Protein backbone atom coordinates (compact mmCIF):
# COMPACT_ATOMS: atom_id res chain seq x y z
CA UNK A 1 0.00 0.00 0.00
CA UNK A 2 1.36 3.41 -1.01
CA UNK A 3 0.88 6.48 1.18
CA UNK A 4 -0.97 9.28 -0.61
CA UNK A 5 -0.01 12.94 -0.35
CA UNK A 6 -3.32 13.63 1.41
CA UNK A 7 -2.46 11.05 4.07
CA UNK A 8 1.04 12.52 4.40
CA UNK A 9 -0.40 16.01 4.96
CA UNK A 10 -2.79 14.66 7.61
CA UNK A 11 0.05 12.80 9.36
CA UNK A 12 2.30 15.87 9.35
CA UNK A 13 -0.50 18.01 10.82
CA UNK A 14 -1.27 15.46 13.56
CA UNK A 15 2.45 15.02 14.30
CA UNK A 16 2.86 18.79 14.69
CA UNK A 17 -0.06 18.98 17.11
CA UNK A 18 1.39 16.17 19.22
CA UNK A 19 4.78 17.88 19.39
CA UNK A 20 3.20 21.25 20.21
CA UNK A 21 1.23 19.66 23.04
CA UNK A 22 4.37 18.21 24.62
CA UNK A 23 6.22 21.49 24.01
CA UNK A 24 3.91 23.15 26.54
CA UNK A 25 5.87 21.35 29.24
CA UNK A 26 9.31 21.41 27.59
CA UNK A 27 10.28 24.83 26.25
CA UNK A 28 12.89 25.42 23.57
CA UNK A 29 13.53 21.74 22.79
CA UNK A 30 11.33 21.20 19.75
CA UNK A 31 13.80 18.94 17.90
CA UNK A 32 14.18 16.56 20.86
CA UNK A 33 10.41 16.50 21.37
CA UNK A 34 9.89 15.65 17.69
CA UNK A 35 12.41 12.82 17.99
CA UNK A 36 10.54 11.36 20.96
CA UNK A 37 7.14 11.69 19.26
CA UNK A 38 8.61 10.04 16.16
CA UNK A 39 9.81 7.14 18.32
CA UNK A 40 6.32 6.69 19.74
CA UNK A 41 4.81 6.59 16.24
CA UNK A 42 7.47 4.09 15.16
CA UNK A 43 6.54 1.76 18.04
CA UNK A 44 9.98 2.28 19.54
CA UNK A 45 11.45 3.04 22.95
CA UNK A 46 13.44 6.07 24.10
CA UNK A 47 16.41 6.53 26.40
CA UNK A 48 16.85 10.05 27.75
CA UNK A 49 20.34 10.59 29.14
CA UNK A 50 21.24 13.97 30.53
CA UNK A 51 22.35 15.88 33.58
CA UNK A 52 20.01 16.10 36.60
CA UNK A 53 17.36 18.80 36.44
CA UNK A 54 17.16 19.20 32.65
CA UNK A 55 13.56 18.00 32.31
CA UNK A 56 13.93 14.32 31.38
CA UNK A 57 11.11 13.15 33.63
CA UNK A 58 8.89 16.08 32.67
CA UNK A 59 9.28 15.23 28.98
CA UNK A 60 8.42 11.58 29.60
CA UNK A 61 5.37 12.46 31.70
CA UNK A 62 4.20 15.04 29.15
CA UNK A 63 4.29 12.49 26.34
CA UNK A 64 2.45 9.95 28.50
CA UNK A 65 -0.29 12.50 29.23
CA UNK A 66 -0.56 13.41 25.54
CA UNK A 67 -1.69 9.87 24.82
CA UNK A 68 -5.21 9.05 26.01
CA UNK A 69 -4.15 5.66 27.27
CA UNK A 70 -2.69 4.16 30.40
CA UNK A 71 0.66 5.26 31.78
CA UNK A 72 2.79 4.26 34.72
CA UNK A 73 6.01 5.31 36.38
CA UNK A 74 8.60 2.94 37.83
CA UNK A 75 11.25 4.48 40.05
CA UNK A 76 14.23 2.19 39.58
CA UNK A 77 16.26 1.53 42.73
CA UNK A 78 18.94 -1.05 43.64
CA UNK A 79 16.42 -3.12 45.63
CA UNK A 80 13.78 -3.23 42.87
CA UNK A 81 12.91 -6.81 41.91
CA UNK A 82 11.92 -8.12 38.45
CA UNK A 83 8.49 -9.03 39.83
CA UNK A 84 8.04 -5.39 40.91
CA UNK A 85 8.17 -4.54 37.19
CA UNK A 86 6.46 -7.43 35.44
CA UNK A 87 4.01 -8.63 38.07
CA UNK A 88 3.67 -11.76 40.15
CA UNK A 89 1.56 -14.92 40.31
CA UNK A 90 -0.26 -15.30 43.64
CA UNK A 91 -2.25 -18.26 44.91
CA UNK A 92 -5.86 -17.35 45.73
CA UNK A 93 -6.95 -19.68 48.55
CA UNK A 94 -10.61 -18.77 48.14
CA UNK A 95 -10.69 -19.71 44.44
CA UNK A 96 -8.07 -22.40 44.72
CA UNK A 97 -6.16 -21.10 41.69
CA UNK A 98 -3.05 -19.09 40.87
CA UNK A 99 -3.78 -15.57 39.59
CA UNK A 100 -1.41 -13.25 37.80
CA UNK A 101 -1.28 -9.70 39.20
CA UNK A 102 0.02 -7.30 36.57
CA UNK A 103 2.96 -5.04 37.31
CA UNK A 104 3.43 -1.41 36.21
CA UNK A 105 4.94 -2.53 32.90
CA UNK A 106 1.37 -3.14 31.69
CA UNK A 107 0.68 0.38 30.39
CA UNK A 108 0.70 2.24 27.08
CA UNK A 109 3.53 4.54 28.18
CA UNK A 110 5.94 3.34 30.88
CA UNK A 111 8.35 5.82 32.46
CA UNK A 112 11.40 3.93 33.73
CA UNK A 113 12.98 6.65 35.86
CA UNK A 114 16.72 6.36 36.58
CA UNK A 115 16.82 2.94 34.93
CA UNK A 116 20.54 2.50 35.57
CA UNK A 117 19.96 2.38 39.34
CA UNK A 118 18.35 -1.07 39.14
CA UNK A 119 20.39 -4.26 39.27
CA UNK A 120 21.21 -6.10 36.02
CA UNK A 121 18.70 -8.80 37.01
CA UNK A 122 15.88 -6.26 37.16
CA UNK A 123 17.02 -4.51 34.00
CA UNK A 124 16.88 -7.86 32.20
CA UNK A 125 13.18 -8.08 33.02
CA UNK A 126 12.67 -5.40 30.35
CA UNK A 127 14.48 -7.25 27.56
CA UNK A 128 11.59 -9.49 26.49
CA UNK A 129 8.82 -6.92 26.85
CA UNK A 130 10.69 -4.20 24.95
CA UNK A 131 11.38 -6.53 22.03
CA UNK A 132 8.27 -8.69 21.90
CA UNK A 133 5.58 -6.75 23.77
CA UNK A 134 4.94 -9.46 26.34
CA UNK A 135 6.26 -10.74 29.66
CA UNK A 136 6.65 -14.36 30.70
CA UNK A 137 6.00 -15.18 34.35
CA UNK A 138 6.08 -18.77 35.62
CA UNK A 139 6.14 -20.02 32.04
CA UNK A 140 3.01 -18.12 31.00
CA UNK A 141 3.19 -15.23 28.50
CA UNK A 142 1.12 -12.09 28.99
CA UNK A 143 0.70 -9.46 26.27
CA UNK A 144 1.16 -5.86 27.43
CA UNK A 145 -1.01 -4.43 24.65
CA UNK A 146 -0.48 -1.98 21.84
CA UNK A 147 0.67 0.78 21.76
CA UNK A 148 3.47 0.12 24.22
CA UNK A 149 6.45 2.38 24.81
CA UNK A 150 9.19 2.55 27.43
CA UNK A 151 10.74 5.96 28.12
CA UNK A 152 13.79 5.47 30.32
CA UNK A 153 15.87 8.18 31.95
CA UNK A 154 19.38 8.13 33.35
CA UNK A 155 22.05 10.70 34.10
CA UNK A 156 25.71 10.22 33.15
CA UNK A 157 27.12 12.05 36.17
CA UNK A 158 26.19 10.00 39.22
CA UNK A 159 27.95 6.65 39.17
CA UNK A 160 27.52 5.59 42.81
CA UNK A 161 24.85 2.93 43.12
CA UNK A 162 24.32 2.62 39.37
CA UNK A 163 24.70 -0.23 36.90
CA UNK A 164 25.73 0.35 33.30
CA UNK A 165 23.05 -0.72 30.84
CA UNK A 166 24.21 -3.81 28.92
CA UNK A 167 24.57 -3.61 25.14
CA UNK A 168 21.58 -5.91 24.64
CA UNK A 169 19.42 -3.49 26.61
CA UNK A 170 20.69 -0.40 24.78
CA UNK A 171 20.04 -2.09 21.43
CA UNK A 172 16.33 -2.25 22.26
CA UNK A 173 15.97 1.52 22.48
CA UNK A 174 15.03 3.05 19.15
CA UNK A 175 16.67 6.36 20.00
CA UNK A 176 18.87 7.85 22.69
CA UNK A 177 18.80 11.59 23.06
CA UNK A 178 19.31 14.37 25.58
CA UNK A 179 17.69 17.69 26.34
CA UNK A 180 20.68 19.74 27.43
CA UNK A 181 20.44 23.05 29.24
CA UNK A 182 18.04 25.70 27.88
CA UNK A 183 19.27 28.75 26.01
CA UNK A 184 19.25 32.15 27.71
CA UNK A 185 15.80 33.30 26.61
CA UNK A 186 14.17 29.97 27.46
CA UNK A 187 15.89 29.91 30.87
CA UNK A 188 14.55 33.39 31.66
CA UNK A 189 11.03 32.32 30.63
CA UNK A 190 11.27 29.31 32.93
CA UNK A 191 12.51 31.48 35.79
CA UNK A 192 9.61 33.89 35.33
CA UNK A 193 7.29 30.90 35.70
CA UNK A 194 9.23 29.42 38.62
CA UNK A 195 6.11 29.15 40.79
CA UNK A 196 4.81 26.47 38.41
CA UNK A 197 6.40 23.33 39.86
CA UNK A 198 4.56 20.88 37.60
CA UNK A 199 4.68 22.10 34.01
CA UNK A 200 3.39 18.77 32.75
CA UNK A 201 0.12 19.26 34.69
CA UNK A 202 -1.25 21.46 31.88
CA UNK A 203 -0.90 18.65 29.35
CA UNK A 204 -4.19 17.06 28.25
CA UNK A 205 -4.65 13.98 26.04
CA UNK A 206 -5.09 14.80 22.35
CA UNK A 207 -4.69 11.39 20.72
CA UNK A 208 -6.33 8.04 21.40
CA UNK A 209 -4.21 4.93 21.71
CA UNK A 210 -5.92 3.47 18.65
CA UNK A 211 -4.88 6.48 16.59
CA UNK A 212 -1.25 5.89 17.52
CA UNK A 213 -1.49 2.43 15.98
CA UNK A 214 -3.12 3.91 12.87
CA UNK A 215 -0.36 6.48 12.45
CA UNK A 216 2.33 3.86 13.06
CA UNK A 217 0.82 1.62 10.38
CA UNK A 218 0.65 4.53 7.94
CA UNK A 219 4.32 5.36 8.55
CA UNK A 220 5.34 1.77 7.82
CA UNK A 221 3.95 2.15 4.28
CA UNK A 222 6.21 5.09 3.33
CA UNK A 223 8.30 4.42 0.22
CA UNK A 224 12.07 3.94 0.52
CA UNK A 225 14.17 3.68 -2.62
CA UNK A 226 16.75 0.91 -2.85
CA UNK A 227 19.53 3.51 -3.26
CA UNK A 228 18.58 5.10 0.09
CA UNK A 229 18.55 1.70 1.80
CA UNK A 230 21.97 0.97 0.29
CA UNK A 231 23.22 4.28 1.72
CA UNK A 232 21.81 3.34 5.13
CA UNK A 233 23.51 -0.04 5.05
CA UNK A 234 26.87 1.50 4.08
CA UNK A 235 26.66 3.74 7.15
CA UNK A 236 25.82 0.79 9.41
CA UNK A 237 28.59 -1.34 7.91
CA UNK A 238 31.10 1.49 8.45
CA UNK A 239 30.34 1.49 12.19
CA UNK A 240 31.47 -2.14 12.35
CA UNK A 241 34.78 -1.53 10.58
CA UNK A 242 35.65 1.83 12.11
CA UNK A 243 39.00 1.59 13.97
CA UNK A 244 37.56 3.51 16.93
CA UNK A 245 34.78 0.99 17.60
CA UNK A 246 34.89 -2.53 19.04
CA UNK A 247 31.20 -3.20 18.37
CA UNK A 248 29.24 -1.68 15.52
CA UNK A 249 25.53 -1.37 14.84
CA UNK A 250 23.54 -4.58 14.69
CA UNK A 251 20.96 -5.50 12.07
CA UNK A 252 18.32 -4.54 14.64
CA UNK A 253 19.80 -1.05 14.61
CA UNK A 254 19.72 -0.88 10.81
CA UNK A 255 16.06 -1.91 10.77
CA UNK A 256 15.31 0.63 13.49
CA UNK A 257 16.84 3.43 11.43
CA UNK A 258 14.85 2.39 8.35
CA UNK A 259 11.58 2.40 10.30
CA UNK A 260 12.33 5.69 12.06
CA UNK A 261 13.27 7.37 8.77
CA UNK A 262 9.84 6.50 7.36
CA UNK A 263 8.10 8.19 10.28
CA UNK A 264 10.45 11.18 10.08
CA UNK A 265 9.75 11.65 6.36
CA UNK A 266 6.00 11.41 6.86
CA UNK A 267 6.13 13.91 9.74
CA UNK A 268 7.40 16.44 7.20
CA UNK A 269 4.60 15.70 4.76
CA UNK A 270 6.62 13.50 2.38
CA UNK A 271 5.55 10.10 1.07
CA UNK A 272 9.15 8.96 0.54
CA UNK A 273 12.42 8.81 2.49
CA UNK A 274 15.41 10.92 1.44
CA UNK A 275 19.10 10.57 2.37
CA UNK A 276 18.66 13.63 4.60
CA UNK A 277 16.17 11.68 6.74
CA UNK A 278 18.83 9.03 7.28
CA UNK A 279 21.40 11.69 8.17
CA UNK A 280 19.02 13.49 10.57
CA UNK A 281 18.37 10.31 12.56
CA UNK A 282 21.72 8.51 12.30
CA UNK A 283 23.19 9.82 15.56
CA UNK A 284 20.16 9.39 17.87
CA UNK A 285 19.31 5.96 16.41
CA UNK A 286 22.78 4.46 15.94
CA UNK A 287 25.29 6.02 18.36
CA UNK A 288 24.14 4.27 21.54
CA UNK A 289 24.55 0.89 19.84
CA UNK A 290 28.30 1.39 19.29
CA UNK A 291 31.04 0.38 21.72
CA UNK A 292 34.03 2.71 21.55
CA UNK A 293 37.51 1.18 21.55
CA UNK A 294 39.16 1.78 24.99
CA UNK A 295 42.12 3.83 23.71
CA UNK A 296 39.83 5.97 21.56
CA UNK A 297 37.49 6.41 24.51
CA UNK A 298 40.42 7.52 26.67
CA UNK A 299 41.34 10.03 23.95
CA UNK A 300 37.85 11.53 24.16
CA UNK A 301 36.27 9.93 21.09
CA UNK A 302 32.54 9.31 21.52
CA UNK A 303 30.11 7.11 19.63
CA UNK A 304 28.45 10.28 18.36
CA UNK A 305 31.79 11.38 16.93
CA UNK A 306 32.14 8.06 15.10
CA UNK A 307 28.71 8.32 13.49
CA UNK A 308 29.25 11.98 12.56
CA UNK A 309 32.58 11.14 10.91
CA UNK A 310 31.01 8.27 8.97
CA UNK A 311 28.26 10.59 7.70
CA UNK A 312 30.99 12.80 6.23
CA UNK A 313 32.89 9.89 4.69
CA UNK A 314 29.95 7.99 3.16
CA UNK A 315 28.48 9.99 0.29
CA UNK A 316 24.67 10.12 -0.09
CA UNK A 317 23.41 8.62 -3.38
CA UNK A 318 22.31 12.03 -4.72
CA UNK A 319 25.90 13.30 -4.58
CA UNK A 320 27.73 10.36 -6.06
CA UNK A 321 29.44 10.77 -9.39
CA UNK A 322 27.65 9.18 -12.31
Q: Which of 175, 209, 243 is the last residue of a domain?
A: 209
Residues 87 and 146 in one domain: yes
Domain that holds residue 270: 222-314
Residue 289 falls within a domain, yes or no? yes
pLDDT the model gives residue 195? 67
CA distances (Å), origin 84, targets 76, 128, 149, 197:
10, 15, 18, 29
pLDDT the model gives residue 69? 78
Residues 68 and 126 in one domain: yes
Residues 97 and 9 in one domain: yes
Residue 216 falls within a domain, yes or no? no
Of 43, 58, 54, 138, nearest to 100 (Cα)?
138
Residues 45 and 182 in one domain: yes
* CB burial of residue 322 (10 Å; 0-12, 13-18, 19+): exposed
Beta-bridge mates of residue 149: 109
List the CATH number of the domain containing 295: 1.10.8.80
Residue 152 falls within a domain, yes or no? yes
CA distances (Å), origin 279, targets 149, 264, 304:
24, 11, 12
Residues 47 and 8 in one domain: yes
Residues 119 and 252 in one domain: no
Residues 27 and 165 in one domain: yes
pLDDT the model gives residue 221? 93
Into how many domains does the chain fold? 2
Element (H, E) at 268: none
Q: Which of 209, 242, 269 is the last residue of a domain?
A: 209
Residues 26 and 171 in one domain: yes
pLDDT the model gives residue 282? 96
Helices (H), the chain: 5-23, 30-40, 56-66, 82-86, 120-123, 125-132, 167-170, 184-192, 209-220, 226-241, 251-267, 275-286, 294-298, 303-313
Residues 187 and 290 in one domain: no
pLDDT the model gives residue 159? 63
Residues 8 and 94 in one domain: yes
Instruction: Answer whether the bond into residue 147 is a cis peptide, omega within 30°.
Output: yes
pLDDT the model gives residue 283? 95
Phi and psi (nearest 5°) for 293? -60, 135
pLDDT the model gives residue 321? 44
Whole-prediction pTM value? 0.88
Long-range contacts of 196-202 (CB under 8 A, 24+ apart): 199/24, 199/25, 199/26, 199/58, 199/62, 200/25, 200/58, 200/61, 200/62, 200/65, 202/24, 202/25
Residues 82 and 164 in one domain: yes
Residues 304 and 173 in one domain: no
* CB burial of residue 102 (10 Å; 0-12, 13-18, 19+): middle
* CB burial of residue 72 (10 Å; 0-12, 13-18, 19+): middle
Q: Which of 148, 182, 209 is the last residue of a domain?
A: 209
Residue 148 falls within a domain, yes or no? yes
List the CATH number of the domain containing 115: 3.40.50.300
Residue 319 falls within a domain, yes or no? no
Residues of the chain with pLDDT under 50: 321-322
Q: Ramachandran region of residue 217, left (φ > 0), alpha (ψ -120 to 50) or beta?
A: alpha
Amino acid sequence: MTVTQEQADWFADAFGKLADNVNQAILGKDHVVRLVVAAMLTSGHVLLEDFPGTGKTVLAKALAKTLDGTNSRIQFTPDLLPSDVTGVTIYDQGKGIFEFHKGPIFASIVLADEINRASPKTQSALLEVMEEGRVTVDGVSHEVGNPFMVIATQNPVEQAGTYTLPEAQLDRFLIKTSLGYPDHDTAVTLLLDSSNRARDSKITPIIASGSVNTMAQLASDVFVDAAVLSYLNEIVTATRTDPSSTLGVSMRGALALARAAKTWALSQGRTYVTPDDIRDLAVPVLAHRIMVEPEADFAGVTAEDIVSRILVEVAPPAYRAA
